[in-house]
């Protein structure tokens, strides 16, 4: 696979001026970057700060292809010019008539003039200039911006649809979710059998498709909600505000939280908020639906969770992908 530098060098060599000053190229357009390539190109990486792994995002510089220029938020754009047919009011050319009165000089009317009840209209072409993300670097940087805002962590590095090991029947349901054919889903099973990998891969896929994604884990979300209650400037309920401007929620480790009265109550309120917000949501949990019902779900949450996820409930059967735990601890 060509590196970004090699691709750009080849592209720039192919571009030359033609006789009328326009841009002519020997290739149609550069290959678009695929979401699977971001780590290999150094656009997504992991760095360790004070012993904690952090997600590092490196935006592409402007590629210069067909007038691509840097813009705000690293979303490089290029101008697209369009000429659009339009009408403008025609002011008649007046001359002196035989008796000295002002009359229109019909011979001065342009071709195609339209006579309407409200006057004369002349067809014209208006020139409009649009700015659009560069398809080579601008759209990639747009993806990286959405990735940065999604809440995904360094754990998402190298976890995408291209390297996931599918269990029988899971890929079809996952793709239906990505296509927004179903409202929600629940994946459950033992630790280490690929639930978080799948959530990360689907989140990346939907970000790539232009969706506004939010990735959360149960306990971390509860801690943020608890902290936000102390913020006196927040006049909205912090249990709901995190859902603003989100299309899809990936909710990892459902049921992994401190089982106290506040945690159970807030968890049930969160499920109600997700239900009312009408966002897509995919849950992952070590607990089965039966265990959730026994441990923390109230009757209302049971009903809402069943309605949201009824079309996509999958029990993972696979081995522990992190290694042979039993052999390690013998």
Q: Which domains does the chain have, with CATH numbers?
A: 4-76 (no CATH), 79-130 (no CATH), 153-325 (3.40.50.300)
How crowded is the C-beta side of 293, counted as CA atoms within 13 Å?
A: 10
Which are the contacts of 109, defined by CB distance < 8 A and separation ≥ 6? 90, 92, 120
- Alpha-carbon distance of 155 to 136, in angstroms, equals 27
Identify the CA nearest to 311 among candidates 177, 196, 167.
177
**Res 211: pLDDT:** 94
**Res 145: pLDDT:** 92
**Mean pLDDT (10-residue bins), the chain, 330 residues:** 42 35 38 82 91 90 80 78 86 87 87 86 86 85 92 91 92 94 94 92 94 94 82 58 88 93 93 92 96 96 96 88 67
Length of the chain: 330
**Res 30: pLDDT:** 56
Q: What are φ and ψ of residue 259, in 5° steps? A: -80, 60
Q: What are φ and ψ of residue 136, in 5° steps? A: -95, -55
- Alpha-carbon distance of 255 to 264, in angstroms, equals 9
Written as six digits, the tokens of 20 are 């009328």
**Res 311: pLDDT:** 95
**Res 11: pLDDT:** 37
Task: Give the containing element (helix H, strand E) for 123.
Answer: strand 119-133
**Res 225: pLDDT:** 85
**Res 323: pLDDT:** 67
Identify the CA nearest to 244 among candidates 266, 284, 277.
277
**Res 19: pLDDT:** 31
């Amino acid at each position: 696979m060509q590196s970004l530098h090699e691709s750009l060098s080849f592209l720039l060599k192919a571009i030359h001026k033609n006789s009328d000053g326009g841009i002519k190229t020997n290739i149609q357009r550069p290959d678009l970057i695929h979401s699977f390539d971001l780590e290999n190109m150094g656009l997504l990486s992991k760095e360790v700060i004070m012993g904690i792994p952090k997600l590092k995002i490196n935006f592409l510089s402007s590629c210069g292809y067909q007038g691509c220029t840097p813009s705000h938020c690293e979303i490089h754009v290029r101008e697209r010019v369009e000429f659009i047919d339009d009408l403008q009011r025609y002011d008649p050319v007046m001359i002196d008539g035989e008796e000295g009165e002002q009359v229109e000089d019909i011979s001065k009317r342009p071709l195609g003039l339209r006579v309407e009840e409200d006057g004369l209209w002349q067809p014209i072409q208006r020139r409009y200039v649009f700015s659009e993300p560069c398809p080579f670097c601008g759209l990639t940087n747009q993806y990286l911006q959405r990735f940065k805002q999604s809440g995904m962590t360094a754990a998402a590095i190298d976890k995408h649809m291209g390297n996931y090991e599918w269990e029988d029947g899971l890929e079809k349901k996952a793709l239906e979710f990505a296509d927004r054919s179903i409202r929600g889903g629940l994946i459950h099973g033992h630790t280490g059998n690929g639930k978080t990998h799948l959530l990360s891969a689907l989140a990346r896929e939907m970000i790539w498709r232009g969706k506004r994604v939010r990735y959360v884990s149960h306990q971390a979300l509860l801690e943020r909600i608890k902290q936000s209650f102390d913020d006196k400037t927040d006049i909205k309920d912090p249990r709901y505000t995190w859902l603003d401007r989100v299309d899809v929620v990936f909710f990892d480790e459902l049921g992994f939280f401190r089982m106290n009265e506040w945690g159970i109550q807030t968890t049930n309120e969160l499920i109600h908020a997700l239900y009312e917000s009408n966002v897509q949501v995919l849950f992952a949990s070590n607990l089965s639906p039966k265990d959730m019902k026994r441990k923390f779900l109230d009757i209302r949450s049971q009903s809402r969770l069943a309605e949201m996820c009824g079309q996509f409930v999958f029990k993972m059967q696979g081995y522990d992908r992190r290694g042979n735990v039993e052999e390690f601890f013998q």
